[in-house]
Structure 1
Amino acid sequence: MDAGMTRDWRAVLLAGGRSSRMGTDKAMLPWGAGTLIAHMHALLLTAGARQVVVSGHRPEFDGVPDAQPGTGPMGALAQLAPQLQEGQWLVVPVDMPLLTVELVHALLSVDAACACVEDHPLPMALRLDAGVRAVLADIGAREGRVRSLRALHDRLRATYVPAPPWREALRNGNTPEEWGALRTMR
Protein backbone atom coordinates (compact mmCIF):
# COMPACT_ATOMS: atom_id res chain seq x y z
CA MET A 1 0.00 0.00 0.00
CA ASP A 2 1.33 3.48 -0.80
CA ALA A 3 2.74 5.31 2.20
CA GLY A 4 0.65 8.39 1.36
CA MET A 5 -2.60 6.48 0.97
CA THR A 6 -5.12 6.48 3.75
CA ARG A 7 -5.27 3.11 5.43
CA ASP A 8 -8.84 3.47 6.63
CA TRP A 9 -11.33 3.69 3.78
CA ARG A 10 -14.69 2.33 2.81
CA ALA A 11 -16.47 1.76 -0.49
CA VAL A 12 -19.87 2.29 -2.05
CA LEU A 13 -20.71 -0.24 -4.75
CA LEU A 14 -23.42 1.21 -7.00
CA ALA A 15 -25.62 -1.76 -7.93
CA GLY A 16 -29.15 -0.41 -7.94
CA GLY A 17 -29.69 0.84 -11.47
CA ARG A 18 -32.29 -0.41 -13.92
CA SER A 19 -29.72 -1.76 -16.42
CA SER A 20 -32.05 -0.55 -19.17
CA ARG A 21 -29.38 -0.42 -21.89
CA MET A 22 -28.20 -3.94 -20.99
CA GLY A 23 -31.72 -5.36 -20.97
CA THR A 24 -30.96 -7.50 -17.89
CA ASP A 25 -29.68 -6.93 -14.37
CA LYS A 26 -25.96 -6.16 -14.81
CA ALA A 27 -25.11 -7.00 -11.21
CA MET A 28 -26.21 -10.60 -11.72
CA LEU A 29 -24.26 -11.21 -14.94
CA PRO A 30 -21.77 -14.08 -14.66
CA TRP A 31 -18.15 -13.14 -14.00
CA GLY A 32 -15.47 -15.59 -12.94
CA ALA A 33 -16.93 -18.21 -10.64
CA GLY A 34 -19.82 -15.98 -9.59
CA THR A 35 -21.65 -12.80 -10.47
CA LEU A 36 -20.45 -9.33 -11.33
CA ILE A 37 -21.63 -7.94 -7.98
CA ALA A 38 -19.80 -10.69 -6.06
CA HIS A 39 -16.63 -10.01 -8.07
CA MET A 40 -16.73 -6.26 -7.46
CA HIS A 41 -17.53 -6.69 -3.76
CA ALA A 42 -14.57 -9.06 -3.34
CA LEU A 43 -12.27 -6.78 -5.34
CA LEU A 44 -12.99 -3.85 -3.02
CA LEU A 45 -12.32 -5.95 0.07
CA THR A 46 -9.11 -7.28 -1.47
CA ALA A 47 -8.04 -3.69 -2.22
CA GLY A 48 -8.38 -2.92 1.49
CA ALA A 49 -11.87 -1.51 2.03
CA ARG A 50 -12.83 -1.66 5.68
CA GLN A 51 -16.49 -1.86 4.63
CA VAL A 52 -18.40 -2.15 1.34
CA VAL A 53 -21.86 -0.60 1.27
CA VAL A 54 -23.96 -1.83 -1.64
CA SER A 55 -26.37 0.71 -3.07
CA GLY A 56 -29.48 -1.01 -4.39
CA HIS A 57 -31.93 -3.70 -3.34
CA ARG A 58 -29.39 -6.50 -2.89
CA PRO A 59 -30.41 -8.49 0.22
CA GLU A 60 -27.56 -10.99 -0.27
CA PHE A 61 -25.10 -8.09 0.27
CA ASP A 62 -27.15 -6.14 2.84
CA GLY A 63 -27.81 -3.62 0.07
CA VAL A 64 -29.48 -0.31 0.78
CA PRO A 65 -32.44 0.20 -1.58
CA ASP A 66 -32.90 3.63 -3.15
CA ALA A 67 -35.60 5.62 -1.37
CA GLN A 68 -36.34 7.20 -4.76
CA PRO A 69 -35.46 4.79 -7.57
CA GLY A 70 -34.56 6.03 -11.02
CA THR A 71 -32.41 8.98 -9.93
CA GLY A 72 -29.18 7.60 -11.40
CA PRO A 73 -25.84 7.16 -9.68
CA MET A 74 -25.78 10.72 -8.31
CA GLY A 75 -29.26 10.37 -6.83
CA ALA A 76 -28.40 7.01 -5.30
CA LEU A 77 -25.20 8.38 -3.77
CA ALA A 78 -27.00 11.43 -2.38
CA GLN A 79 -29.69 9.22 -0.83
CA LEU A 80 -27.09 6.94 0.72
CA ALA A 81 -24.73 9.67 2.02
CA PRO A 82 -26.61 10.47 5.26
CA GLN A 83 -26.12 6.84 6.33
CA LEU A 84 -22.37 6.80 5.66
CA GLN A 85 -19.83 7.70 8.29
CA GLU A 86 -17.36 10.48 7.69
CA GLY A 87 -14.02 9.64 6.16
CA GLN A 88 -12.51 8.36 2.93
CA TRP A 89 -14.84 6.55 0.51
CA LEU A 90 -14.41 5.05 -2.93
CA VAL A 91 -17.52 4.99 -5.15
CA VAL A 92 -17.49 2.25 -7.79
CA PRO A 93 -20.04 1.07 -10.37
CA VAL A 94 -20.95 -2.61 -10.42
CA ASP A 95 -20.20 -2.88 -14.15
CA MET A 96 -16.43 -2.20 -14.10
CA PRO A 97 -14.94 -5.70 -13.62
CA LEU A 98 -11.47 -4.85 -14.93
CA LEU A 99 -10.94 -2.29 -12.16
CA THR A 100 -7.56 -2.88 -10.53
CA VAL A 101 -6.31 -2.58 -6.98
CA GLU A 102 -3.62 -0.26 -8.35
CA LEU A 103 -6.21 2.19 -9.70
CA VAL A 104 -8.15 2.04 -6.43
CA HIS A 105 -4.97 2.93 -4.52
CA ALA A 106 -4.05 5.67 -7.01
CA LEU A 107 -7.41 7.39 -6.44
CA LEU A 108 -7.27 7.01 -2.68
CA SER A 109 -3.76 8.45 -2.54
CA VAL A 110 -4.93 11.80 -3.94
CA ASP A 111 -5.27 14.41 -1.20
CA ALA A 112 -8.55 16.01 -2.27
CA ALA A 113 -12.24 16.09 -1.36
CA CYS A 114 -12.96 14.35 -4.68
CA ALA A 115 -10.68 12.46 -7.07
CA CYS A 116 -11.42 10.58 -10.25
CA VAL A 117 -9.81 9.68 -13.55
CA GLU A 118 -10.00 12.35 -16.26
CA ASP A 119 -13.05 11.94 -18.50
CA HIS A 120 -14.55 9.26 -16.21
CA PRO A 121 -17.15 10.03 -13.55
CA LEU A 122 -16.45 6.73 -11.77
CA PRO A 123 -14.65 5.33 -9.90
CA MET A 124 -14.40 8.30 -7.56
CA ALA A 125 -12.71 8.87 -4.22
CA LEU A 126 -14.65 11.12 -1.82
CA ARG A 127 -13.61 12.53 1.52
CA LEU A 128 -17.00 12.58 3.21
CA ASP A 129 -17.60 15.34 5.75
CA ALA A 130 -20.40 17.82 6.51
CA GLY A 131 -19.47 20.06 3.55
CA VAL A 132 -19.41 17.19 1.04
CA ARG A 133 -22.70 15.86 2.47
CA ALA A 134 -24.30 19.26 1.86
CA VAL A 135 -23.08 19.30 -1.76
CA LEU A 136 -24.34 15.73 -2.28
CA ALA A 137 -27.77 16.67 -0.87
CA ASP A 138 -28.00 19.79 -3.04
CA ILE A 139 -27.03 18.10 -6.31
CA GLY A 140 -28.99 14.94 -5.48
CA ALA A 141 -32.18 16.97 -5.02
CA ARG A 142 -31.96 18.43 -8.51
CA GLU A 143 -33.91 17.15 -11.51
CA GLY A 144 -32.68 15.76 -14.80
CA ARG A 145 -29.18 16.26 -16.17
CA VAL A 146 -28.15 18.79 -13.52
CA ARG A 147 -28.24 15.89 -11.03
CA SER A 148 -24.98 14.34 -12.16
CA LEU A 149 -21.63 13.06 -10.98
CA ARG A 150 -19.99 15.67 -13.24
CA ALA A 151 -21.83 18.41 -11.34
CA LEU A 152 -20.49 16.88 -8.13
CA HIS A 153 -16.95 16.87 -9.52
CA ASP A 154 -17.31 20.53 -10.51
CA ARG A 155 -18.66 21.65 -7.13
CA LEU A 156 -15.99 19.74 -5.20
CA ARG A 157 -13.23 20.88 -7.58
CA ALA A 158 -12.23 17.29 -8.28
CA THR A 159 -8.62 16.36 -8.77
CA TYR A 160 -8.18 14.26 -11.91
CA VAL A 161 -5.74 11.39 -12.32
CA PRO A 162 -4.46 10.98 -15.92
CA ALA A 163 -6.42 8.35 -17.85
CA PRO A 164 -3.81 6.69 -20.13
CA PRO A 165 -2.42 4.13 -17.66
CA TRP A 166 -5.94 3.03 -16.68
CA ARG A 167 -7.87 2.79 -19.96
CA GLU A 168 -8.51 -0.94 -19.78
CA ALA A 169 -9.37 -0.88 -16.05
CA LEU A 170 -12.02 1.79 -16.72
CA ARG A 171 -14.01 -0.18 -19.28
CA ASN A 172 -17.53 -0.94 -18.23
CA GLY A 173 -20.45 -2.85 -19.67
CA ASN A 174 -23.63 -0.87 -20.23
CA THR A 175 -24.79 -2.67 -23.36
CA PRO A 176 -24.69 -6.30 -24.54
CA GLU A 177 -21.97 -5.31 -27.03
CA GLU A 178 -19.79 -3.69 -24.36
CA TRP A 179 -20.38 -6.68 -22.10
CA GLY A 180 -19.30 -9.08 -24.85
CA ALA A 181 -16.09 -7.09 -25.36
CA LEU A 182 -15.37 -7.11 -21.61
CA ARG A 183 -15.80 -10.87 -21.36
CA THR A 184 -13.11 -11.39 -24.00
CA MET A 185 -10.65 -9.22 -22.00
CA ARG A 186 -10.58 -11.09 -18.71
Structure 2
Amino acid sequence: MSFTTLKSLHPARTIAVILAGGRSSRMGQDKALLQHQGGTLLSRTYHLLSQLGFQQVVVSGDYPDFPHIKDAKGQLGPVAGIASCVNALGQQCENMLFVAVDTPLLTAQSCLELLQHNAGQGVYYRSSLLPACLVMSVQLPHTLDTLMQPRAAKQRSLKQLFQTLGCRPIAVPERLSQSLLNANTPEQWRDICQLAAKEES
Protein backbone atom coordinates (compact mmCIF):
# COMPACT_ATOMS: atom_id res chain seq x y z
CA MET A 1 0.00 0.00 0.00
CA SER A 2 1.49 3.36 -1.03
CA PHE A 3 1.90 6.33 1.30
CA THR A 4 -0.75 8.21 -0.69
CA THR A 5 -3.24 5.40 -0.20
CA LEU A 6 -2.34 5.16 3.49
CA LYS A 7 -3.06 8.86 3.99
CA SER A 8 -6.47 8.42 2.33
CA LEU A 9 -7.43 5.98 5.11
CA HIS A 10 -7.15 8.79 7.70
CA PRO A 11 -5.10 6.98 10.35
CA ALA A 12 -4.46 10.39 11.94
CA ARG A 13 -8.10 10.38 13.06
CA THR A 14 -7.70 6.96 14.64
CA ILE A 15 -6.17 5.90 17.96
CA ALA A 16 -4.60 2.45 17.89
CA VAL A 17 -4.96 0.35 21.04
CA ILE A 18 -3.03 -2.81 21.92
CA LEU A 19 -5.16 -5.03 24.13
CA ALA A 20 -2.69 -6.51 26.62
CA GLY A 21 -4.56 -6.66 29.92
CA GLY A 22 -5.51 -10.34 29.91
CA ARG A 23 -4.51 -12.94 32.48
CA SER A 24 -2.52 -15.12 30.03
CA SER A 25 -3.60 -18.08 32.17
CA ARG A 26 -3.39 -20.64 29.36
CA MET A 27 0.07 -19.45 28.36
CA GLY A 28 1.38 -19.61 31.91
CA GLN A 29 3.23 -16.29 31.58
CA ASP A 30 2.51 -12.76 30.45
CA LYS A 31 2.03 -12.98 26.68
CA ALA A 32 2.91 -9.33 26.20
CA LEU A 33 6.43 -10.01 27.47
CA LEU A 34 7.17 -13.08 25.34
CA GLN A 35 10.36 -12.59 23.33
CA HIS A 36 9.93 -12.38 19.56
CA GLN A 37 12.16 -11.00 16.80
CA GLY A 38 14.54 -9.24 19.15
CA GLY A 39 11.93 -7.76 21.47
CA THR A 40 8.72 -8.54 23.29
CA LEU A 41 5.37 -9.08 21.62
CA LEU A 42 4.25 -5.79 23.13
CA SER A 43 7.24 -3.80 21.90
CA ARG A 44 6.98 -5.34 18.43
CA THR A 45 3.28 -4.49 18.13
CA TYR A 46 3.79 -0.98 19.48
CA HIS A 47 6.61 -0.33 17.01
CA LEU A 48 4.53 -1.67 14.11
CA LEU A 49 1.55 0.56 14.86
CA SER A 50 3.73 3.59 15.58
CA GLN A 51 4.95 3.54 11.98
CA LEU A 52 1.47 3.80 10.46
CA GLY A 53 0.62 7.42 11.24
CA PHE A 54 -2.06 6.88 13.86
CA GLN A 55 -3.10 9.83 16.00
CA GLN A 56 -1.85 7.92 19.04
CA VAL A 57 -0.83 4.39 20.03
CA VAL A 58 -1.65 3.21 23.56
CA VAL A 59 -1.59 -0.05 25.48
CA SER A 60 -4.64 -1.33 27.33
CA GLY A 61 -3.09 -2.79 30.48
CA ASP A 62 -0.59 -1.93 33.20
CA TYR A 63 2.66 -1.43 31.27
CA PRO A 64 4.41 1.73 32.54
CA ASP A 65 7.11 1.62 29.85
CA PHE A 66 4.46 2.49 27.24
CA PRO A 67 1.61 4.99 27.00
CA HIS A 68 -1.06 2.91 28.69
CA ILE A 69 -4.51 2.85 30.22
CA LYS A 70 -5.26 0.50 33.08
CA ASP A 71 -8.55 -1.36 33.01
CA ALA A 72 -11.03 0.39 35.28
CA LYS A 73 -12.36 -3.05 36.13
CA GLY A 74 -9.54 -5.57 36.00
CA GLN A 75 -9.59 -9.12 34.63
CA LEU A 76 -12.97 -8.83 32.92
CA GLY A 77 -11.78 -9.56 29.41
CA PRO A 78 -11.10 -7.50 26.28
CA VAL A 79 -14.43 -5.66 26.46
CA ALA A 80 -13.30 -4.15 29.77
CA GLY A 81 -10.10 -2.93 28.14
CA ILE A 82 -12.04 -1.42 25.26
CA ALA A 83 -14.42 0.29 27.69
CA SER A 84 -11.56 1.85 29.67
CA CYS A 85 -9.90 3.17 26.51
CA VAL A 86 -13.11 4.55 25.05
CA ASN A 87 -13.94 6.29 28.33
CA ALA A 88 -10.46 7.81 28.51
CA LEU A 89 -9.82 8.71 24.87
CA GLY A 90 -13.04 8.33 22.90
CA GLN A 91 -13.70 12.07 22.64
CA GLN A 92 -10.26 12.68 21.13
CA CYS A 93 -10.67 10.66 17.93
CA GLU A 94 -13.13 9.43 15.31
CA ASN A 95 -12.15 5.76 15.40
CA MET A 96 -10.20 3.28 17.49
CA LEU A 97 -8.33 0.33 16.08
CA PHE A 98 -7.99 -2.50 18.59
CA VAL A 99 -5.37 -5.20 18.12
CA ALA A 100 -4.46 -8.15 20.33
CA VAL A 101 -0.95 -8.36 21.75
CA ASP A 102 -0.83 -12.12 21.14
CA THR A 103 -0.69 -11.97 17.33
CA PRO A 104 3.08 -12.28 16.66
CA LEU A 105 2.73 -12.25 12.87
CA LEU A 106 0.50 -9.17 12.70
CA THR A 107 1.28 -6.93 9.72
CA ALA A 108 0.56 -3.35 8.78
CA GLN A 109 -1.64 -4.57 5.95
CA SER A 110 -3.83 -6.55 8.36
CA CYS A 111 -4.62 -3.32 10.21
CA LEU A 112 -4.93 -1.00 7.23
CA GLU A 113 -7.27 -3.41 5.46
CA LEU A 114 -9.82 -2.75 8.21
CA LEU A 115 -9.53 1.01 7.85
CA GLN A 116 -10.09 0.59 4.14
CA HIS A 117 -13.39 -1.21 4.82
CA ASN A 118 -14.54 1.07 7.63
CA ALA A 119 -17.56 2.96 6.33
CA GLY A 120 -18.67 4.66 9.52
CA GLN A 121 -20.13 1.58 11.19
CA GLY A 122 -17.10 -0.27 12.52
CA VAL A 123 -15.53 -3.37 11.01
CA TYR A 124 -13.84 -6.58 12.15
CA TYR A 125 -12.53 -9.84 10.76
CA ARG A 126 -15.24 -12.47 10.93
CA SER A 127 -13.01 -15.40 11.85
CA SER A 128 -10.68 -13.72 14.34
CA LEU A 129 -12.62 -10.69 15.73
CA LEU A 130 -9.35 -8.79 16.24
CA PRO A 131 -8.04 -6.49 14.88
CA ALA A 132 -11.25 -4.47 14.89
CA CYS A 133 -12.01 -0.84 14.12
CA LEU A 134 -14.75 0.88 16.13
CA VAL A 135 -16.37 4.22 15.38
CA MET A 136 -16.65 6.62 18.33
CA SER A 137 -20.42 6.89 18.06
CA VAL A 138 -22.93 8.04 20.67
CA GLN A 139 -24.08 4.43 20.95
CA LEU A 140 -20.65 3.00 21.78
CA PRO A 141 -20.18 4.14 25.42
CA HIS A 142 -23.77 3.23 26.27
CA THR A 143 -23.33 -0.26 24.80
CA LEU A 144 -20.08 -0.72 26.71
CA ASP A 145 -21.67 0.46 29.95
CA THR A 146 -24.44 -2.08 29.50
CA LEU A 147 -22.02 -4.94 28.81
CA MET A 148 -19.91 -4.02 31.84
CA GLN A 149 -22.82 -4.39 34.24
CA PRO A 150 -22.55 -7.50 36.47
CA ARG A 151 -25.82 -8.85 35.13
CA ALA A 152 -24.36 -8.84 31.59
CA ALA A 153 -21.34 -11.00 32.46
CA LYS A 154 -22.49 -13.91 30.28
CA GLN A 155 -23.01 -11.62 27.27
CA ARG A 156 -19.75 -9.69 27.71
CA SER A 157 -17.85 -10.68 24.59
CA LEU A 158 -16.31 -9.06 21.55
CA LYS A 159 -18.82 -10.77 19.29
CA GLN A 160 -21.76 -9.44 21.31
CA LEU A 161 -20.26 -5.94 21.32
CA PHE A 162 -19.73 -5.91 17.56
CA GLN A 163 -23.17 -7.32 16.81
CA THR A 164 -24.91 -4.81 19.08
CA LEU A 165 -23.07 -1.93 17.41
CA GLY A 166 -23.88 -3.23 13.93
CA CYS A 167 -20.22 -3.55 12.98
CA ARG A 168 -19.49 -5.07 9.60
CA PRO A 169 -17.76 -8.47 9.56
CA ILE A 170 -15.41 -9.04 6.64
CA ALA A 171 -13.73 -12.20 5.45
CA VAL A 172 -10.01 -12.59 6.06
CA PRO A 173 -8.15 -12.47 2.73
CA GLU A 174 -6.03 -15.57 2.24
CA ARG A 175 -2.90 -13.45 2.00
CA LEU A 176 -3.52 -12.14 5.53
CA SER A 177 -4.68 -15.31 7.26
CA GLN A 178 -1.34 -16.17 8.88
CA SER A 179 -0.89 -12.64 10.18
CA LEU A 180 -3.96 -13.03 12.40
CA LEU A 181 -2.90 -16.25 14.12
CA ASN A 182 -2.88 -15.78 17.87
CA ALA A 183 -0.93 -17.56 20.57
CA ASN A 184 -2.95 -18.46 23.65
CA THR A 185 -1.07 -21.60 24.65
CA PRO A 186 2.59 -22.72 24.68
CA GLU A 187 1.79 -25.08 21.80
CA GLN A 188 0.31 -22.31 19.66
CA TRP A 189 3.28 -20.10 20.50
CA ARG A 190 5.72 -22.82 19.41
CA ASP A 191 3.86 -23.37 16.13
CA ILE A 192 3.79 -19.66 15.32
CA CYS A 193 7.49 -19.27 16.10
CA GLN A 194 8.26 -22.17 13.78
CA LEU A 195 6.12 -20.59 11.05
CA ALA A 196 7.89 -17.25 11.48
CA ALA A 197 11.30 -18.92 11.28
CA LYS A 198 10.28 -20.74 8.10
CA GLU A 199 9.17 -17.48 6.46
CA GLU A 200 12.45 -15.79 7.37
CA SER A 201 14.61 -18.61 5.98
TM-score (norm 2): 0.86
TM-score (norm 1): 0.93
How does 1:26-37 map onto structure 2 within 5 Å?
26-37=31-42
1:184 maps to which of 188, 194, 199: 194
| SS of match in other structure, 2:9 | coil
How far the C-alpha of 1:177 sits from its partner, in A, is 0.4
Say yes or no: does 1:65 pair with 2:70. Answer: yes
Say yes or no: does 1:6 pair with 2:10. Answer: yes
1:46 corresponding residue in structure 2? 51
How far the C-alpha of 1:93 sits from its partner, in A, is 0.7
Query: Could you tell which deviates more after superposition, 151-160 or 62-71?
Result: 62-71
CA distance in 1, matches of 2:37, 2:61: 22
2:125 corresponding residue in structure 1? 117
Say yes or no: does 1:175 pair with 2:185. Answer: yes
Which of the pair is proportionally richer in helix? Answer: 2
1:131 corresponding residue in structure 2? 139
- Which of 1 and 2 has greater Rg? 2
Asked if structure 2 preserves the Cα contact closer than 8 Å seen for 1:79 and 1:140, the reply is no
Asked if structure 2 preserves the Cα contact closer than 8 Å seen for 1:11 and 1:51, the reply is yes
Letter in 1 for 2:182: N
| SS of match in other structure, 1:169 | helix
- How many positions carry a matched residue from both structures? 186
CA distance in 2, matches of 1:77, 1:181: 29
How far the C-alpha of 1:4 sits from its partner, in A, is 4.7
CA distance in 1, matches of 2:113, 2:173: 13
CA distance in 2, matches of 1:180, 1:156: 36
Say yes or no: does 1:107 pair with 2:114. Answer: yes
How far the C-alpha of 1:69 sits from its partner, in A, is 1.1
How far the C-alpha of 1:151 sits from its partner, in A, is 0.7
Q: Deviations over 1:43-100 (max 9, x none)?
A: 1112222211111110011322222211000112112211012312100110012111
Unaligned runs of 5+ in 1: none
Unaligned runs of 5+ in 2: 197-201
| SS of match in other structure, 2:86 | helix
Letter in 1 for 2:132: M
How far the C-alpha of 1:159 sits from its partner, in A, is 1.0
